[in-house]
Amino acid sequence: MLSGYSFRPRGWAFAAAAAACAAFILLGNWQARRAEEKRALAAALEKRHVSLRGTFLPQYTVLLDNKIRNQRAGYEVVTPLRVDGESVLVLRGWVAAGSSRDVLPEVKTPPGAVTVEGISLERLPRVLILQKNSTGKVRQSLDIGEFAAQSGLPLRPFFLEQHSPIDDGLLRDWPAPDTGVTMHESYSLQWYSFAVATVALFVALSFRRVAPR
């Protein structure tokens, strides 16, 4: 006990502090569970390794616009790979844009059968659509079902993000997927800190001066 003070908590203050502390702990636990779920998701993504052998169909190549690498504008190249009568859309890599947007970069595509290894993706990362362009060689996004209807190609229901090297001059420096683990861990720590601060504030405000006798 501090000299001249005694610990005399008020009932309403205790109830309010207990409720707030419990709420903060529950929120911290929820964020911790979300972080664990995202870690499990990241582990699952690492296991979705795919290896396919087939032939590229360069006439169906699509360039995804507004892709930045090393502060340079460019395109991500998507080309169907024919495998056993079906095709898979392969996210092959990045190519720099030219000095004029009217002239598209040349993309080297290896002929004949090739083996492509990488990670399967159910969909491409969501992007801000500045202009609707769901047809043509240059697009801002690509939907598997829509492209299958346009091209007439039977497509498997996933993209293949290529990681294996092929002599095509494309950059395959893919950004790591942001699963949000760090964000949830930060929020969890923040809520737990609020709980600790609530207890400390309650204790500090519960000490009251004792009148001298």
String of b and e for 20-33 (b: at least 16 CB within 10 Å)?
Answer: bbeebbebbeebbe
Residue 173 lies in a domain: no
Q: Do residues 207 and 2 touch, judged by C-beta distance below 8 A?
A: yes
**What span, in angstroms and rounded, lies between the C-alpha atoms of 138 and 46?**
30
Q: In which domain, by residue range, is 140 found?
A: 49-162
Beta strands at 62-69 and 138-139: parallel, antiparallel or unpaired = parallel
Return the residue matching tokens 């499990």. 40
Residue 63, domain member (yes or no): yes
How many domains does the chain divide into? 1
> pLDDT-based confidence at 159, cuts 50/70/90?
very high
Q: What is the pLDDT of residues 160-192, one digit of tens each?
A: 999 999 999 999 988 766 667 788 888 898 999
CA distances from residue 2 to 9, 17, 22, 161 in whole angstroms, order as listed: 14, 22, 28, 65
Classify residue 27: in a domain, yes or no: no
Q: What is the pLDDT of residue 131?
A: 54
Which residue's structure tokens are 């006439």?
Answer: 59
Cβ-Cβ contacts under 8 Å for 61 (sequence gap 6 or more): 77, 78, 79, 107, 109, 137
User: In the numeric block, which tokens belong to residue 152?
Assistant: 């007439």
Position with higher pLDDT, 68 vs 213: 68
pLDDT at 88: 97
Q: In the chain, pLDDT over 90 holds for what percent of residues?
A: 49
Q: Are the C-beta atoms of residues 187 and 31 closer than 8 Å to each other? A: yes
Mean per-residue pLDDT, 72-85: 95
pLDDT band for position 113 (cuts 50, 70, 90): very high
Q: Tell me, yes or no, whether 19 lies in a domain.
A: no
Residues 112-137: what's their mean pLDDT? 76
Give the model's pLDDT for residue 57. Answer: 97
Long-range Cβ pairs for the range 210-213 (8 Å, 24+): 210/4, 210/5, 210/6, 212/4
Helices (H), 48-94: none
**Digit-coded pLDDT (tens) for 19-44:** 999 999 999 999 988 888 877 777 76
| Three-state DSSP state, 43 | helix
| 5 Ramachandran zone, left/alpha/beta (phi>0; psi -120 to 50) | beta
Predicted TM-score (pTM) of this structure: 0.64
Residue written as token pair 């870690």: 39
Show the tokens assigned to 121: 């993706």
Res. 117 pLDDT band, cuts 50 70 90: very high
* pLDDT tens string 38-56: 777 777 666 688 999 999 9
Q: Where are the alpha helices (DSSP H) in the chain?
A: 11-47, 144-151, 181-205
Domain presence at residue 16: no
Residue 116 pairs in a beta bridge with 52
Asked if residue 119 lies in contact with residue 113, where contact means CB atoms within 8 angstroms, the answer is no
Residue 167 forms part of a structural domain = no
